[in-house]
Amino acid sequence: MNSLRSKFSLNHLEKIFKKPQNEIGRPKDQREYYKFDKHIKGTNITTKIKILRIKNIKMDCTITEFETFERLAIINEWTDEIMGNIYYDIIEEGKNKTSLTQNSYVKLRKEIMTILYPSAETVLYLKQINNVKQNNLSTSKIITMKL
């Protein structure tokens, strides 16, 4: 199991699927966020969660951003339709936005993933994964005991 983890570590997979330099993401000082309330169930405590404004789908949509939004939606008990409407409104890019689904987050996320990773490039990604090699599977230690 550990060999699979090391073979497909997140860091290594990010290198394999690395986007072109102009599509990696915005520097932190150029990012703008929406702030949402996060209600902690069973308490009167409310905190804020920042969700990145999507000015360019290829630069701003990341798995981390999707996961942050999805955690917020679960905590606030949003439906798929509410999530879709909110996430659609977070997208400010006009070029791709008009072709995206608005009333279903599941469909919207799938469409965004298709923009980020076109199916025509799937073969390239699979070839890169096949080229991954692990040189050092494990190290065995032999212990000798004197009797």
The answer to the question of residue 18 being in a domain is no
Q: Are residues 54 and 112 in contact, defined by beta-carbon separation less than 8 angstroms?
A: no
Q: Does a structural domain hold residue 136?
A: no
Mapped onto helix, strand or coil, the DSSP state of residue 50 is strand
Q: For residues 137 and 7, give the distance between their C-alpha atoms in angstroms, rounded to a whole number.
A: 9
Q: Model confidence over 96-135: pLDDT tens digits?
A: 888 899 999 999 999 999 888 888 777 777 777 777 766 6
Provide the domain count of the chain.
1
Q: pLDDT per residue over 28-79, tens digit each?
A: 666 788 888 888 888 888 889 898 888 888 888 888 889 999 999 998 899 9
Classify residue 38: in a domain, yes or no.
Answer: yes
The answer to the question of residue 117 being in a domain is: yes
CA–CA distances in Å: residue 120 to residues 110, 127, 147: 15, 13, 65
pLDDT band, residue 1 (cuts 50/70/90): very low
Q: Assess if residue 11 is contained within a domain.
A: no
* Structural domain containing residue 97: 24-130
13, part of any domain? no
Residue 72 located in a structural domain = yes
Buried b (16+ CB within 10 A) or exposed e, 62-100: eeebeebbeebbebbebeeeebbbbbbebbebeeeeeeb
pTM of the model: 0.63
Domain-embedded: residue 45: yes
